[in-house]
Structure 1
Amino acid sequence: MTQLSSKLPRVGTTIFTTMSALAAELKAVNLGQGFPDFPMDENLIEAVSRAMRGQFNQYAPMAGWMPLREILAEKIAGLYSTRVQPETEITITPGGTYAIYTALTTILQPGDEVIVLEPAYDSYVPNIVINGGVPVLIPLNMDDFSINWPAVWSAITPKTRAIMINSPHNPTGAILQDPDIAQLKALVAAHDLFIVSDEVYEHLVYDGRPHLSILRYPELLARSFVCFSFGKVFHCTGWKLGYCVAPAGLMKEFRKVHQFNCFSCHTPSQAGIAEYLQNPETYQSLGGFLQQKRDHFIKLMEQTRFTLKPSSGSYFICAGYEKISSEKDIDFALRLTREYGVATIPVSAFYQNGSDEKLIRFCFAKKEDTLNEAVGKLVRL
């Protein structure tokens, strides 16, 4: 047989697939993979249903349904005081991960280096590698998951092409703060870098803190691809629908890649979301809704021997288990699933070298009954 030379020889089945499959097999409570188990808003379901019944079922334009791009431009102006052009600066994509991949494909030439802050969402490095790029891995400060900016500056070489930014952060729940923005402005200006900003948890920011989107800062947006997810914020992850915002010149090149890959996304979902977003409350209330779940989970976990880390956004919170075990995090996570019926994600899965900080990630975007059941099992540890 003809032999295939893998473009991703180090990549196997992801830990998310492994842990979710194990949870299903053992009927464990799945606090691992980042998906809600509660219903999405019926109003959005009805809006998409009306679109389907209204015959919005054929190809949307390559860049996305124009009324959706227009309402997104209005939303961006209202939230971030930034004007973007729906015709030339917004493209609808089949999910946030696709938007990130397409941005990196647009930017990278073989040998280009990309700064990646670890722990990192697991698609970043394979996306870089498959495009001939070289990931340059910088660990976050483990006490508070802040960015080690001196290490970032030291890692820059003449080959550095871009930096990956993720806020709210997966897996840690950390968010960018004003000093981070100042450092990022100085860095990318000094070295003429692109930014790929993963903001799929845009509206899931807690404790009254603002989301410091790259869209707020014209000098950063001028060199950025900013990626979002409807599925994450509207609790419909299976829809796989998102979008990318970039200046017209960058977006022109992004669309060259997009048109020969996906070309067009699910039309009735786009039409339904366009209608749904007419009411700003649909996204303005999301942070408070998820914060209640985070706070409920934190309160429940006081009964356990886990040490919870701070989480200011996203679906996730990390926990140390140093009072329980000295096992590797993958071994502990597997045992937790098999013996106690709760699935989590070991944080070492978010490091390319498997760095083990003795942390596991919990997803709290679940029904209260689910969280109650899970913690009821965890208190036995």
Structure 2
Amino acid sequence: MPKLSNRVQTFTDSVIRRMTRISDEYGAINLSQGFPDFDPPKEILDALAKAAYAGPHQYSVTYGAENFRAALAKKQAKSFAREINPDTEIVVTCGGTEAMMCAMMTICNPGDKVMVFSPFYENYGADAILSGAEPIYIPLVPPTYNFDIRLVEDGFRQGAKAIIVCNPSNPCGKVFTREELLAIGKLALKYDAFVVTDEVYEHMVYAPNKHISMASLPGMYEHTITCNSLSKTYSITGWRLGYLIGPADVIEGAKKVHDFLTVGAAAPLQEAAVTGLEFPESYYDDLLTLYTKKRQRFLDGLDRIGLKHNVPQGTYFIMVDIQEFLDQPKFQGYTDLEFCEWMIKNIGVAAVPGSSFFREKVNHLIRLHFARSEETIDEAIRRLSKLREN
């Protein structure tokens, strides 16, 4: 049999999705892969039911249906502090995952370097490799997940063409401050580089933290490619509706890449999702209130058990320290992955091993999420309390 490409030898399958498969096998509560266990807004479901009969059912415009792009442009104009041209500055993709891959393939040549903050959403390293680029990892240091801006400049000095900024950050929940973003942006301008942002969790930022789009900062729109999706904001992760926003010359290239990657996102789903994009501001306020309560409920539960954890500034992810368990004789020699597999089988809760997010050798953290109903959160806490009994 002929050999496979070298690139597929350099990374594994998604550990997150792997943990979901094991969780399903054992009937565990899945706090690994981040998707809600409650329905999308009724208005969106009603729009989907209508689209099921009224259509459209054939290809939309490759880079996104016209009304969908117009609704996106109107919604995001506020956070970008500028008008967005829906015809020349937006590409609709098959989820945020394709948006990031499309951005990387648009700007990267084989051999280019791209900076990635560590810990990172596991796709970023693979995206860089698949686009032929070499990742340079910049540590976000636990427990505060701050970073040394001098390392960012060093990366640019090494010739990095771009830096990926997930804000708010999956997996650690960090929200980048205005000062941090300005410092990164200043270096991107100095070295004539791109900032590729992932802003999927933009509406899940907890007080007193505030979400700031990199593209809204002075001089940064022409140097920023914003990746986003509707998945988390409207609880429709399975719809796979994402998008890129950026300057027209970049988006023109991204349209070509997207066209040959997936042709286009699902037409009837775009039609239905327009309803969500046109929601009033109160919807996003209510969403934040909902997740603020879920976060507190989950944190309180972890505190009652006595598990060490960070307090996420954004997203619905929490990093939990499992070192005390790894120090026990029964877990001697366990990796964090093996501990997560043990948890699924013996505790009935699925988590993601932190090592899948870190470039550094980190074996003592796991990621859990709280995008679940109150009943599921309470049951997950009850099961996690069994960690003290084993």
Q: Which residue pairs with 2:234 in the alignment?
A: 234
Q: Which residue pairs with 2:207 in the alignment?
A: 207
Shift of 1:33: 0.9
Q: How many residues align?
A: 380
Runs of 4+ that moved beyond 4 A: none
Equivalent-residue separation in structure 2 for 1:24 and 1:276 (angstroms) = 30
Say if 2:175 and 2:209, in contact at 8 Å, map to a contact too.
no
Q: Secondary structure at the match of 1:287?
A: helix
Amino acid corresponding to residue 307 of structure 1 in structure 2: K
Say if 1:102 and 1:258, in contact at 8 Å, map to a contact too.
yes
Equivalent-residue separation in structure 1 for 2:318 and 2:4 (angstroms) = 40
Aligned-pair identity (%)? 31
Amino acid corresponding to residue 291 of structure 1 in structure 2: T
Say if 2:203 and 2:284, in contact at 8 Å, map to a contact too.
yes
Question: For residues 209-267 of structure 1, what are the alpha-carbon distances to aligned partners after superposition, in whole Å with 9 as ceiling and x for unaligned?
Answer: 32111232251221111011111211111111111100111101111111122122111
Equivalent-residue separation in structure 1 for 2:285 and 2:274 (angstroms) = 16
User: Which of 364, 367, 381 is matched with 1:358 structurally?
Assistant: 364
Counterparts in 2 of 1:181 and 1:4: CA distance versus 1, 3 Å: closer
Say if 2:185 and 2:195, in contact at 8 Å, map to a contact too.
no
Equivalent-residue separation in structure 1 for 2:190 and 2:53 (angstroms) = 53
Structure 2: stretches of 5+ with no match in the other structure:
328-333
Q: Which residue pairs with 1:339 in the alignment?
A: 346
Equivalent-residue separation in structure 2 for 1:129 and 1:165 (angstroms) = 17
- Structure with greater proportional helix content: 2
Amino acid corresponding to residue 383 of structure 2 in structure 1: K
Say if 1:37 and 1:365, in contact at 8 Å, map to a contact too.
yes
Shift of 1:357: 4.8
Q: How does 1:1-381 map to 2 (within 5 A)?
A: 1-280=1-280, 281-326=282-327, 327-352=334-359, 355-381=361-387
Shift of 1:208: 4.5
Say if 2:152 and 2:184, in contact at 8 Å, map to a contact too.
no
Counterparts in 2 of 1:158 and 1:323: CA distance versus 1, 3 Å: closer
Equivalent-residue separation in structure 2 for 1:68 and 1:208 (angstroms) = 32
Say if 1:153 and 1:187, in contact at 8 Å, map to a contact too.
yes
Question: For residues 64-112 of structure 1, what are the alpha-carbon distances to aligned partners after superposition, in whole Å with 9 as ceiling and x for unaligned?
Answer: 1111111211112234422111110011110001000000000011111
Counterparts in 2 of 1:192 and 1:277: CA distance versus 1, 3 Å: same
Question: For residues 18-53 of structure 1, what are the alpha-carbon distances to aligned partners after superposition, in whole Å with 9 as ceiling and x for unaligned?
Answer: 211221111111111111111111211111221232
Shift of 1:159: 2.5
Question: For residues 339-371 of structure 1, what are the alpha-carbon distances to aligned partners after superposition, in whole Å with 9 as ceiling and x for unaligned?
Answer: 211110111111246x21511111100111111
Shift of 1:134: 0.6
Say if 2:69 and 2:90, in contact at 8 Å, map to a contact too.
yes
Aligned residues: CA RMSD: 1.6
Q: Secondary structure at the match of 1:88?
A: coil
Question: For residues 320-341 of structure 1, what are the alpha-carbon distances to aligned partners after superposition, in whole Å with 9 as ceiling and x for unaligned?
Answer: 1234333532232222222211
Mean alpha-carbon deviation: is it higher for 87-96 or for 318-327?
318-327
Equivalent-residue separation in structure 2 for 1:98 and 1:232 (angstroms) = 15
Q: Which residue pairs with 2:331 in the alignment?
A: none
Shift of 1:60: 0.8
Amino acid corresponding to residue 364 of structure 1 in structure 2: F
Say if 2:234 and 2:276, in contact at 8 Å, map to a contact too.
no
Say if 1:102 and 1:254, in contact at 8 Å, map to a contact too.
yes
Mean alpha-carbon deviation: is it higher for 2-11 or for 141-150?
2-11
Counterparts in 2 of 1:357 and 1:143: CA distance versus 1, 3 Å: farther
Say if 1:337 and 1:343, in contact at 8 Å, map to a contact too.
yes
Equivalent-residue separation in structure 1 for 2:103 and 2:285 (angstroms) = 27
Equivalent-residue separation in structure 2 for 1:21 and 1:116 (angstroms) = 27
Amino acid corresponding to residue 89 of structure 1 in structure 2: E
Equivalent-residue separation in structure 1 for 2:196 and 2:223 (angstroms) = 9
Say if 1:306 and 1:323, in contact at 8 Å, map to a contact too.
no
Equivalent-residue separation in structure 1 for 2:159 and 2:153 (angstroms) = 13
Say if 1:111 and 1:159, in contact at 8 Å, map to a contact too.
no
Counterparts in 2 of 1:158 and 1:307: CA distance versus 1, 3 Å: closer
What TM-score comes out, normalization by structure 2 length?
Answer: 0.93
Equivalent-residue separation in structure 2 for 1:78 and 1:121 (angstroms) = 26
Say if 1:305 and 1:321, in contact at 8 Å, map to a contact too.
no
Equivalent-residue separation in structure 2 for 1:260 and 1:25 (angstroms) = 35
Q: Secondary structure at the match of 2:231?
A: helix
